[in-house]
Structure 1
Amino acid sequence: MHMIVAAIDFGTTYSGWAFSFRAEYERDPRKAEVKHWHSGIGTLVTVKTPTCLLVKPDGITFQAFGYDAENQYLELADKDEHKNYYYFRRFKMLLFGALGKHLTKETTVMDEMGKELFAVDVFAMSIKFMVDDMMAVVNQRLTGIIMETDIHWVLTVPAIWSDLAKQFMRQAAIKAGIATERLTIVLEPEAASLYCRHIPVDTTVTDGNLTISELPTGSKYMVLDAGGGTIDITVHEVQSQYTLREVRAANGGDWGGTMVDKAFENFIIDLVGETVFDTFKHSETIDWLHLAREFELKKQAAGTQSEGNVIMHFPVSLIDLFETEKERKITIKDAIVVSKYDKTVELKRDKLKISHSTIENLFEHSIQQIVEHVQKLMTDERMACIKAILMVGGYSESPLLQRAIKSAFPGIHEVIPQEASSAVLRGALIFGHNPMTITERVLKYTYGVDISLPFVDRIYPESKRVKTDEGDRCKDIFHKLIKNESSVTPGETQVKRCYYTVHKKQARISFDIVISKEKTPTYVDEKGCTKIGTIQIKFEEPDDLPGRKVNLTMLLGGTEIIVELEDEKTGNKVINTAEFWG
């Protein structure tokens, strides 16, 4: 048992941390110390800080994270000293859809101006900042010395991520100084769901009196975790008072709030042109940063009113760039009048008046993708009798998204906790104290290993024939361990297989762990198969003859898969080595 559980919610747009003491958790599982961040501009205080990292020009030394990184970069840009610094925003999206891309220690991530650093370092620096920040607060709170072993860390990831992306996050956390045995990866929608199972009626914004904490056993509800980058959709069924099982494997897409930011950028490009916008971003960086920050606030307020216009500051530097490019004969004001925005957008000096409908249109593509995806899911027979849609994540606080879900699913309750953006953090702490609160999960992939079988003419292709001391064999066979859509129980579901060496004096045996969305692939190199790692065991004293037995055990049902190899002759074991990643 750990004295403290600490959670880091590492988001695409915003991140945060929280911790809770074991004793306080036992009295009230919702009790949490959630860090509040000060923006440094005005009096804005939030439960999360922007996921922004500033690195010194050497590419190695950490400079700042969050609002501090934003503000320091603004100051550097103001003095035109920013160009050699590395400024990263929204880099978590690199890990979405990483199934086909092989993440390695050499994978790089690009900063806002196109410079690159190793991704694992960028993630590790960000995690280390949050670890250090939290440790400073904990040490202030407590008079005694806190040992590292007193803390168990929980790191949140989207449920729709691949095993590779989860492995990558674990490696980054280890690089940031968290010991792997004191780290649990928790799935974001599960964490949010757990928190909402604990909150009473009066803390939920809902269309009636329904809350997730009062649903009877057997009730199903959908968790719509809408964040900056990903939309993560899972279906849970209530087990006992505070436990859940997953009914349908998590799925979703990259339709989060950043899609709206992209639409805003395209809107500005429609007004000034791509060349001008690129020049503006690189040469007038401070104005570009102010514009992005102002839109972030307008985005959060979108849909709260329909009268009047949305007024935004339009940088003078952008007007100048537009009007000096190619000695243009037209002013930006006149260019807007002759554009498709002639009736909805107006420029007065440096104020851009934008109609509410134009702002709402920026959300249209993102919201449409989310609604259509949920509609498609609702046709699945496992979705029958869904009682509610639990909306969590920062984007769920958008009135536009709330209204769209409400009108698309009139017979289903929408439940939005007041703490929608910190529900994941708070739930992650509950999971850290008691991981057995999730009783069952559903596999997204079929898992298998790469093996060889005795070669049979006219059945196997000649290109896969290999010679061994056991005779000719067919390589690249996908040997299935467990198929997708299987229900698995944490701590219980194990797959055991035994394999044998095929060479004399064979010094090692290694397996590629391969996944596929198909139920029964034949070969590991066919379309749709992805290798997620390699695990091998060495024999200190190789046998003279082939046929040495090795047992492979795969433990499923947790948030990560665990693979173990055992040499039956000596009892030596290997568990998920570093080779398993990258």
Structure 2
Amino acid sequence: MVSVILGDRDCFPLKDDNISSVTYGQAGEKYYEMRVIVAAIDFGTTYSGWAFSFRADYEKNPTNAEVKHWHSGPGTLVTEKTPTCLLVKPDGVTFQAFGYDAENQYLELADKDEHRDYYYFRRFKMLLFKAFGKHLTKETTIADEMGKELPAIDVFAMSIKFIVDDMMVVVNQRLTGIIMETDIHWVLTVPTIWSDFAKQFMRHAAIKAGIVTERLTIVLEPEAASLYCRHLPIEAMLSGDNLLISELPTGSKYMVLDAGGGTIDITVHEVQSQYTLREVRAANGGDWGGTMVDKAFEKFICDLVGETVFRTFKQSETEDWLYMIREFEYKKREAGSRSGTQVVMNFPASLTEIFLNETHMTIKDAIAASTYAEAVEIKRDKLKISHSVFKTLFQESLHNTVDHVKRLLKDERMVDVRTILMAGGYSESPLLQRAIKLAFPEMQVVIPHAASSAVLRGALIFGYNPASITERLLRYTYGTDICVSFLEGKHPENRRKKNNVGDTCSDVFDILIEKDTKVKTGETQITGTYYNNHSNQRSMLFRIYASNEKNPLYVDDERCSKLETWGNENKV
């Protein structure tokens, strides 16, 4: 016989031998005595960054944070995040560069036509979005921008290791003493709507990057953003008619719309005490973030020049293609914020030449004969797009987001939700802000300054006080596989197994805890007792399965998936 205890291990360890005691900050929140420094990594689809804070600074003001500012090049753009781009040497194992440095070095290599043997990855985080049931393993590969593949775990681990090393340089500059490994607790952000498999994959990538598992916490991005805004003063709000999330009374509910480069992550929180929250609507959303706009732009260029020309351009004139998508990223951010009738971008001469060689007609003549004749113009090296056409690039993303929020608000649990908190880099888009405000005029829409770093800053608060989120709703049903006596009429005949103790049915899904169950942070969620099948049995193997179904019957159903162990499975 063996007893099994299921708890909230990932977000709040049940026991941590490295923590000596728990004390309380000025706001009454708990933090851990040994967490001298909390460091946060926001590993985004489009942009990534890091931040850290010392416990003493956190006690004075939980929003205090040292956030890295990244430079895109000499005398150019400065941002709180850097592009999620990784450059790997031709051997496939040696790190070359990350972020703006990776972009710039790859551009230089492309200019010399020396880039083809290098591995250049960008926006690769979306590999993990639809990972439920795909069994991410150490052998899973990911293709770079030119189709060359490397193990996905190595790509993520190299990226995380760079961020860790980059932050440690700054931490050591700030202190005169020696930083011990046990002085830092790391917090890694992930989208709430990711599957458990994807979250587990990120944990193992961080461990491979050198972060000790006992010093690593996973935080859900909307939760981090929500916690940050619970601490903000009024002057830190970009809009919201002077509404302070921090002053909402106990029992108030608000929707958190975390709009990132890859996903739109939506959850609903209810205010508990002054600085604690509980989840009242299971997180949901979709892959409608800023990268959907990027795909629409790429399709737009393909419509102008044709897929064959565009593919040739991307392969043979990689440097020009990279400059083009970098410029579009700037134009995308500005969309809806400036007056005028056109959006003007550079149009590479190399693309004009390839089009002429492939089609034997000029690009100007082709556009004049197309449906874009009145809305798009190429003049010398400039591409001029009417604002109406440019806005259509956002159309699918905005429609999906607004439509999903409308469906959520029809839920009876949402009847008293009157506030939408927007966070994430894509939330800084004037077009997304306008779409939400127009679609929900009865709602108070709150947007913090530097919405793109709200998750990063909130992750630090969570790192000191994981109990800030007191209650969550499970997105999956969890269970294990058991063998039971075969019952005529209940179990399918093809599952009958004959043995010396009678007919049995195996691979039955034994539910440990159901989908949509409320679970409290730091508490044991369920206990169960299991018996061995044979008197001489010396061990029991527990496989944990997850299912989107509330009451799955069998573990080998296509709607169920086994949580991977990334090593030898545990026997008890």
User: Residue type of the partner of 2:413?
Assistant: R
Structure 1 match to 2:252 = 219
User: Residue type of the partner of 2:323?
Assistant: H
User: Residue type of the partner of 1:17?
Assistant: W
Query: Structure 1: how far apart are the matches of 2:407 and 2:126?
Result: 24
The alpha-carbon deviation at position 470 of structure 1 amounts to 3.7
Q: May I ask how many residue pairs the two structures share in their alignment?
A: 537
Q: TM-score, normalised by structure 2?
A: 0.92
Query: Structure 1: how far apart are the matches of 2:500 and 2:67?
Result: 62
Query: Structure 1: which 5+ runs fail to align?
Result: 535-575
Q: Does the CA contact (< 8 Å) of 1:17 and 1:134 recur in 2?
A: yes
Structure 2 match to 1:302 = 335
Aligned counterpart in structure 2 of residue 488 of structure 1, from 491, 494, 519? 519
The alpha-carbon deviation at position 367 of structure 1 amounts to 0.4
Structure 2 match to 1:38 = 71
Indicate the SS of the match to 1:429.
helix
Query: Structure 1: how far apart are the matches of 2:136 and 2:54?
Result: 35
Percent identity over paired residues: 71
User: Residue type of the partner of 1:258?
Assistant: T
Aligned counterpart in structure 2 of residue 501 of structure 1, from 517, 532, 541? 532
Indicate the SS of the match to 1:505.
coil
User: Residue type of the partner of 1:446?
Assistant: T
Query: Structure 2: how far apart are the matches of 1:578 and 1:44?
Result: 47
User: Residue type of the partner of 2:421?
Assistant: L
Structure 1 residues 42 and 352: CA distance shift in structure 2, 3 A: farther
User: Residue type of the partner of 2:89?
Assistant: K
Q: How does 1:31-430 map to 2 (within 5 A)?
A: 31-40=64-73, 42-325=75-358, 328-430=359-461
Query: Structure 1: how far apart are the matches of 2:220 and 2:74?
Result: 33
The alpha-carbon deviation at position 528 of structure 1 amounts to 1.8
Structure 1 match to 2:62 = 29
Which stretch of structure 1 is more off in the superposition, 99-108 or 3-12?
99-108
Structure 2 match to 1:552 = none
Indicate the SS of the match to 2:533.
coil
Q: What CA RMSD, in Å, does the superposition of the two structures yield over aligned residues?
A: 1.3
User: Residue type of the partner of 1:288?
Assistant: W
Query: Structure 1: how far apart are the matches of 2:75 and 2:406?
Result: 41
The alpha-carbon deviation at position 511 of structure 1 amounts to 2.4
The alpha-carbon deviation at position 493 of structure 1 amounts to 3.7
User: Residue type of the partner of 1:381?
Assistant: E
Deviation digits for residues 233-280 of structure 1 (CA, Å, limit 9, x no counterpart): 000001111110000110000000000000000000001000110111
Indicate the SS of the match to 1:510.
coil
Higher relative contact order (CA 8 A, sep 6+): 2
Structure 2 match to 1:555 = none
Indicate the SS of the match to 1:421.
helix
The alpha-carbon deviation at position 526 of structure 1 amounts to 2.3
Q: Does the CA contact (< 8 Å) of 1:470 and 1:503 recur in 2?
A: no
Aligned counterpart in structure 2 of residue 2 of structure 1, from 29, 35, 46? 35
The alpha-carbon deviation at position 497 of structure 1 amounts to 1.0
Structure 1 match to 2:477 = 446
Query: Structure 1: how far apart are the matches of 2:167 and 2:399?
Result: 39
The alpha-carbon deviation at position 466 of structure 1 amounts to 2.4
Query: Structure 2: which 5+ runs fail to align?
Result: 1-33
Q: Does the CA contact (< 8 Å) of 2:508 and 2:553 recur in 1?
A: yes
Query: Structure 2: how far apart are the matches of 1:577 and 1:279?
Result: 43
Q: Does the CA contact (< 8 Å) of 1:514 and 1:533 recur in 2?
A: no
User: Residue type of the partner of 1:228?
Assistant: G
User: Residue type of the partner of 2:95?
Assistant: F
Q: Does the CA contact (< 8 Å) of 1:50 and 1:67 recur in 2?
A: yes
User: Residue type of the partner of 2:257?
Assistant: L
The alpha-carbon deviation at position 467 of structure 1 amounts to 3.9
The alpha-carbon deviation at position 462 of structure 1 amounts to 2.4
Query: Structure 2: how far apart are the matches of 1:493 and 1:369?
Result: 38
Indicate the SS of the match to 1:93.
helix
Deviation digits for residues 97-144 of structure 1 (CA, Å, limit 9, x no counterpart): 211211001011110000000000000000000000001111111111
Q: Does the CA contact (< 8 Å) of 1:189 and 1:224 recur in 2?
A: yes
Indicate the SS of the match to 1:144.
coil
Structure 2 match to 1:559 = none
Q: Does the CA contact (< 8 Å) of 2:267 and 2:283 recur in 1?
A: yes
User: Residue type of the partner of 1:290?
Assistant: Y
Q: Does the CA contact (< 8 Å) of 2:511 and 2:551 recur in 1?
A: yes
Q: Does the CA contact (< 8 Å) of 1:452 and 1:473 recur in 2?
A: yes
Indicate the SS of the match to 2:510.
strand
Query: Structure 2: how far apart are the matches of 1:8 and 1:207?
Result: 28
Query: Structure 1: how far apart are the matches of 2:463 and 2:238?
Result: 26
The alpha-carbon deviation at position 207 of structure 1 amounts to 3.8
Query: Structure 2: how far apart are the matches of 1:380 and 1:467?
Result: 48
Query: Structure 2: how far apart are the matches of 1:360 and 1:306?
Result: 13
Q: Does the CA contact (< 8 Å) of 1:215 and 1:238 recur in 2?
A: yes
Structure 2 match to 1:525 = 556
Indicate the SS of the match to 1:155.
strand
Structure 1 residues 493 and 380: CA distance shift in structure 2, 3 A: farther
Indicate the SS of the match to 1:471.
coil
Q: Does the CA contact (< 8 Å) of 2:355 and 2:361 recur in 1?
A: no
Q: Does the CA contact (< 8 Å) of 2:135 and 2:564 recur in 1?
A: no
User: Residue type of the partner of 2:190?
Assistant: V
Q: Does the CA contact (< 8 Å) of 2:541 and 2:569 recur in 1?
A: no
Which stretch of structure 1 is more off in the superposition, 32-41 or 10-19?
32-41
The alpha-carbon deviation at position 304 of structure 1 amounts to 0.7
The alpha-carbon deviation at position 577 of structure 1 amounts to 6.5
Q: Does the CA contact (< 8 Å) of 1:470 and 1:502 recur in 2?
A: no
Query: Structure 2: how far apart are the matches of 1:11 and 1:579?
Result: 31
Query: Structure 2: how far apart are the matches of 1:577 and 1:86?
Result: 28
The alpha-carbon deviation at position 454 of structure 1 amounts to 1.1
The alpha-carbon deviation at position 468 of structure 1 amounts to 4.5
Q: Does the CA contact (< 8 Å) of 1:451 and 1:511 recur in 2?
A: no
Indicate the SS of the match to 1:508.
coil
The alpha-carbon deviation at position 504 of structure 1 amounts to 4.6
User: Residue type of the partner of 2:477?
Assistant: T
